[in-house]
Amino acid sequence: MRYVLIDRCLELDKGVRIRTVKCVTRGEPFLRELDRYPPTLVLETLLQTGAALARVTAGGDKRSFLGKITEAEFPAFAQAGDRIDVLVEAIQSRPDGTMLHGEARVDGALVGRAEFMIGFLPAELVPAPDPKADERRRLTRKAIGLPPVEEA
Partner 1 sequence: MEDNEIISKVTECVANALGRDEEEVKLESVLSRDLEAESIDYLDITFQLEKAFGIKIEKDELFPQKIFQDARYVSDGVVTADGLAFLEQKLPYADIASFRVDPKVTAVPNLFTVSLLVNYVKTKIAA
Which residues in this chain contact partner 1 in the complex, by CB under 8 A? 67-68, 70, 92, 94-97, 99, 117, 119, 122
Most distant CA atoms of the chain, gap in Å: 45
Of 15 and 147, nearer to partner 1 (C-beta) is 15
Of 9 and 117, nearer to partner 1 (C-beta) is 117
CA gyration radius, the chain: 15
Of 81 and 122, nearer to partner 1 (C-beta) is 122
| Shortest separation between residue 150's beta carbon and partner 1, angstroms | 19
- Measured CA to CA in angstroms, residue 121 lies from 64, 65, 90, 103, 127 at distances of 6, 7, 19, 26, 10
| Shortest separation between residue 70's beta carbon and partner 1, angstroms | 8
Of 10 and 123, nearer to partner 1 (C-beta) is 123
Do residues 95 and 54 touch, judged by C-beta distance below 8 A?
no
Other beta carbons within 10 angstroms of residue 21's beta carbon come to: 17
H or E element in which residue 114 lies:
strand 109-120
| Shortest separation between residue 17's beta carbon and partner 1, angstroms | 18
| Shortest separation between residue 77's beta carbon and partner 1, angstroms | 28
